[in-house]
Structure 1
Amino acid sequence: MKQKIAVLGPGSWGTALAKVLVENGHDVTIWGREVDQIAEINQQHTNQHYLPDLLLPLELKAEYDLKTAVTGADAILFVVPTKAIRSVAAQLVAVLDTKPVIIHASKGLEQGTHKRISQVLMEEIPADKRQDVVVLSGPSHAEEVAVRDITTITAASKNLKYAEYVQQLFMNDYFRIYTNDDVIGVETGAALKNIIALGSGAIHGLGFGDNAKAAIMTRGLAEISRLGVAMGADPLTFIGMSGVGDLIVTCTSVHSRNWRAGDLLGRGHNLQEVLDNMGMIVEGVSTTKAAYELSQELNVEMPITETIYKVLYEGADVQEAAKLIMLRDGRSEKEF
């Protein structure tokens, strides 16, 4: 059934997801704040800064007025940076004329509160203004989805009826959606894998090989699981799409901006130089701070996250930090 969908955030991932929805026959409007970017999407049918040389569907509409973008929407998809989620949600409430399903495909933890994105959305958008909040996450690069590479991700909601609704919105012959009722696990895996991707990139930048990369991914997954379970997640979620799946794709590809940022850190660039070079949000940087603080609150041991935190926020030398983490006391692999 054709649905009217507003996509909030015309970055690479928001644009790629909007393209999927249009190709599935839905009426899609993408909203953003940059007038020139909105004009480019409408007139040139491109979004060159985020997805160079990709021709977008003629049916995709772009809008910089939020009220116009969401009028009559059956579903609203948030794909804005984590730091903007709360403010955009507050703006949305003031202009809603329907009771839509709220979907988010952003990955991070809110600074200060350490809350998951769905928690922020539920706080800002009252229950009488929405149907449900569904998380859309998994191993996916926008650059590959945009050219119809085979991709599988997860739609998560405590109410599987709404996860299945999102599944039906997005499913086609190159984009497959699985459902899950573990919202905490899916969001935690999505956020924390960006931290490990920074470390994986740094390992590459330092010149270490595949052994080291395998080590940081495997032990990184152990950290993600420990914190996730402490937050109430199902441990089985972390061996699924939004756990090990997302970790693999983010820790091994030059498409990953977190991996690229880590690679630059490993090559000796300081954090500000890295962020200036990237030109886009690197969610793993802020997530490292939030996850480190949360691990301290919950008394969860996360040595890789702590090491990356010290490199990012305390000026620790990345090569020395890699050496020190290897010299930690020996322990059983089965310790959780």
Structure 2
Amino acid sequence: MEKIAVIGGGSWASALVKILSENKSQVHWWMRNENDVQHLINYRHNPRYLSGVTYDLQYVKPSTDLQAVVATVDWVVLAVPAAFVQEALKTLPTDALRNKVLVSAIKGMIPKENILITDYLEKHYQVPKSHLLVVAGPCHAEEVAMEKQSYLTIGSHDLATSERFCELLRNRYVKANPLDDLDGVEYCAVIKNIIALACGIARGLNYGDNFQAVLVSNAMLEIERFLHAIMPMHRALSGSAYLGDLLVTAYSQFSRNRTFGNMIGHGYTVKSAQIEMNMVAEGYYAVQSIYELNKRLKVDMPITTAVYLILYERIAPAVEFEILKEKLK
């Protein structure tokens, strides 16, 4: 029986625990809230997210003790918002993760440091690149809970390791495939959340489907330019790990980034939208990181720039989109 730690108590963490535990892995599940842990132990449900999912406590071991959760496992899956990774891991000694395989299920970047989650783990916890994986692909937690057919891509520098993790995920409704593009997959997962914000803003401003199709197609070119500038290699960007993930985030009713953007387009302030959603839209933090990175790279990124100006410089969405629409082709 494989022993796996899952760090995080949100919807995506809950979905991953469902997949892994139903495949008979022993999952040590760290959650911050003691009441949530007790609820899981008593009723076998996460009271806050995907509450319709029932967990088998023979395979799921919830706890608030992070060091104990991590101590006996071989795999550690991170599924907390990027902005809270440092806070979540602060009680771990710097060598606690060194001999484990770290799997980032986070589609965001470390704010202010402006680095990928895997780069942060390598830098601060001395995890070698060969032990770092990224979960990508179009796969909303809500559809996993309903056991809708889903596809995941596991990005890495070591295909053998990513294939091993794929085997832990595969079941009748989840297909998983390895891909040797750790950085490209991770950056794409970050930027697609920014694009989803833009799509939501456009919808809130009453732009139609025609405009959104142009917005998404231009976004794919924007992603391609950025990836070529920061990590050049041949990539099939039409694949599900890239384009597929972008499409589901841009169009789905379950996309929190699209929902957040829609509220901004309707006139919400950032703070009021965050309070009403009560969930983290990774694109809000990601757009600042990508914008700061691009000051050095100088890639043509009109959509990212527009979202940044709206969210951080308080430019009126209607005004900024009038400018943006002239830059799209």
Partners in 2 of 1:232 and 1:98 — Cα distance?
25
Q: Is the 8 A contact 1:66 1:95 kept in 2?
A: no
Partners in 1 of 2:220 and 2:304 — Cα distance?
11
Q: Is the 8 A contact 1:5 1:75 kept in 2?
A: yes
Determine the structure 2 residue equivalent to 1:272: 271
> Which stretch of the first structure deviates more once superposed, 118-127 or 22-31?
118-127
Q: How much does 1:15 deviate? A: 0.8
Letter in 1 for 2:206: G
Q: Is the 8 A contact 1:200 1:213 kept in 2?
A: yes
Determine the structure 1 residue equivalent to 2:290: 291
Letter in 2 for 1:216: L
Determine the structure 2 residue equivalent to 1:64: 64
Partners in 2 of 1:81 and 1:121 — Cα distance?
15
Q: Is the 8 A contact 1:86 1:121 kept in 2?
A: no
Q: Is the 8 A contact 2:200 2:257 kept in 1?
A: yes
- RMSD of aligned residue pairs (Cα, Å): 1.9
Can you list the C-alpha shifts for 1:70-98, whole angstroms capped at 9, x where unaligned?
23101111111112223444533458398
Matches within 5 A, 1:309-320: 309-320=308-319
1:150 and 2:171 correspond:
no
Contiguous gaps of at least 5 residues in structure 1: none
CA 1:321–1:94 in structure 2 vs 1: closer, same or farther (change >3 Å)?
closer
Q: Normalising by the residue count of structure 1, what TM-score does the alignment of the two structures yield?
A: 0.92
Q: Equivalent residue of 1:236, what SS?
A: coil
1:100 and 2:68 correspond:
no
Q: Equivalent residue of 1:219, what SS?
A: helix
Contiguous gaps of at least 5 residues in structure 2: none
Partners in 2 of 1:239 and 1:97 — Cα distance?
34
Q: Is the 8 A contact 1:82 1:108 kept in 2?
A: yes
1:260 and 2:259 correspond:
yes
Letter in 2 for 1:76: V
Letter in 2 for 1:3: E
Determine the structure 2 residue equivalent to 1:246: 245
Partners in 2 of 1:232 and 1:97 — Cα distance?
26
Q: How much does 1:195 deviate? A: 0.3
CA 1:147–1:93 in structure 2 vs 1: closer, same or farther (change >3 Å)?
farther
Can you list the C-alpha shifts for 1:18-37, whole angstroms capped at 9, x where unaligned?
11000101011110111111
Matches within 5 A, 1:6-155: 6-59=5-58, 60-93=60-93, 96=96, 99-127=99-127, 132-155=131-154
Q: Normalising by the residue count of structure 2, what TM-score does the alignment of the two structures yield?
A: 0.94
1:168 and 2:164 correspond:
no
Partners in 2 of 1:228 and 1:97 — Cα distance?
29
CA 1:233–1:240 in structure 2 vs 1: closer, same or farther (change >3 Å)?
farther
Q: How much does 1:234 deviate? A: 3.3
